[in-house]
Amino acid sequence: MKSIITPVSSVAFLPSAFAATVHTANTDDLKGATNTFNAALRESQYNLTVTDGEIGDFSTSLFGFEGCGDWGSPKRKAIYSGWQQAWHMMDAVQTKGLNWNEAAAIEFFAPPFINEEEQSSIKSTVSQRLYSVYTQLAYTTNKDQESGKARIAFCPNYFLEPDLLKVIDENSKKELPIEHRADLNNYVRNKGRVWFHELLHIDWASGVDPQYHIVDLYALYTRRDHTVAKQKIYNPAKTKGLAAFHLNPAWWIKRSADNFAMYAMAKTVQKITGNYPHLPFASTLECVYDGQGKCQDSEFKHGPGDKNLVIPLSSTPQWIAIQDTNEEPIKDFCLAKVLAKVPAKGDEGNPEFPTELPAFEAHEAKGCDLV
């Protein structure tokens, strides 16, 4: 069974005041959306104030909800709550200046001497939505609600994920061993991190470089048994491995979704607990795949290949698969629509946004990938 929701306007990333309500709803829908949104707020524990904007604007900024149940259903509440939980992470990275010399930035974005040329691109993704929401993220609803959308598919296991603050509280208790409390792996499985990661795939929300799309990169890793495996650059050890990669790592990092997500997750844990989670240590990357089937390794003395061809925006659909299932293809999911700032039809510099299933092409899978 299919299910669909849709975030609209500036709040796709960070709660901020609307210039106007961007999605109209009838009275019953507005009441149902507002009640569900408020119920989710109690779950997410986000302190939404009057200065952030109107509850009605936030609650009607996600719509569609096909296959997600009625207003007040656990699925709709879990989707709202995960979105709100991602705001905790956005708050943790909100700063006037990114400190390139601090632990989180060095481990996930590479040392400042190495990432210097890419700092502006990385910073724009981290902070653009925090400070330029009115000029960069002011979007309106298309009259034709079947066009101009990017979509997020919420697979069944998303709804089994715990809440961000609960995960941090349970894994940072003083009675736990230091090696447990200091390990970021123990904090990353939560709804807020899923939302944060997946929103990065939406170009108008992430503030991505005009010609490039933030993706899930692949790399070859050396396992403990000294065998080599091709895997996605997900989670702390692998994203740290990319930051420590010997060939222009920052150029890859600025389009690696989970490097941004792990940075934000580490900063969130640090903000709440007062301590930076320094574990695990970085994995060893043998090479990084460039999107053309080529593996950038030590043979490429000058770093990545033709940068004009690597992972262009037009090569990757604006579809996002959230959370994992077993080996067989997905059978039941809840699909989220995200309004794009451009119409569906475009030209070379403004690719069409897909409007049909499957929603898994961005992750190159028949089902939902592990996020």
Note the pLDDT tens digit of each residue in 94-138. 877 789 999 999 999 999 999 999 998 888 888 754 322 222 221
Residue 283 has pLDDT above 80, yes or no: yes
Residue 369 lies in a domain: no
Stretch 303-318: mean pLDDT, rounded?
34
Q: 110 Cβ partners below 8 Å, 6+ apart?
A: 243, 244, 249, 250, 253
* Residue 284 structural domain: 4-363
Q: Within a domain: residue 370?
A: no
- pLDDT for position 314: 30
The DSSP element (H or E) to which 205 belongs, if any, is helix 203-206
Whole-angstrom distance, CA of residue 69 vs CA of residue 56: 20
In this structure, are residues 240 and 107 in contact, taking their beta carbons and an 8 Å threshold? yes
Q: What is the mean pLDDT of the chain?
A: 69
Distance separating alpha carbons of residues 57 and 206, to the nearest angstrom: 21
In a domain, 237, yes or no: yes
Q: Residue 256 forms beta bridges with which residues?
A: 215
**What dihedral do alpha carbons 305, 308, 309, 314 form, nearest 10°?**
150
335 in a domain, yes or no?
yes
Give which of 319, 324, 328, 331 is closest to 369, Cα–Cα: 324
**105, 104, 84: which is closest to 194 by C-alpha?**
84
Average pLDDT over residues 224-245: 88
Q: Answer whether residue 330 shows pLDDT above 60.
A: no
Query: 76 with 39: CB under 8 angstroms?
Result: no
Domain count along the chain: 1
Q: Count Cα atoms within 13 angstroms, Cβ side, for 73.
A: 13
Flag whether pLDDT at 300 surpasses 70.
no
Predicted pLDDT of residue 57? 63
On whether residue 368 sits in a domain, the answer given is no
- 371: in domain: no
Please state, in angstroms and rounded to a whole number, the distance separating the CA atoms of residues 202 and 248. Answer: 24
Mind listing the pLDDT tens digit for each residue in 36-87? 889 999 999 998 775 565 655 666 566 567 677 888 889 889 988 998 999 9
Q: At residue 304, does pLDDT exceed 50?
A: no
Region 184-200: what's the mean pLDDT? Answer: 91
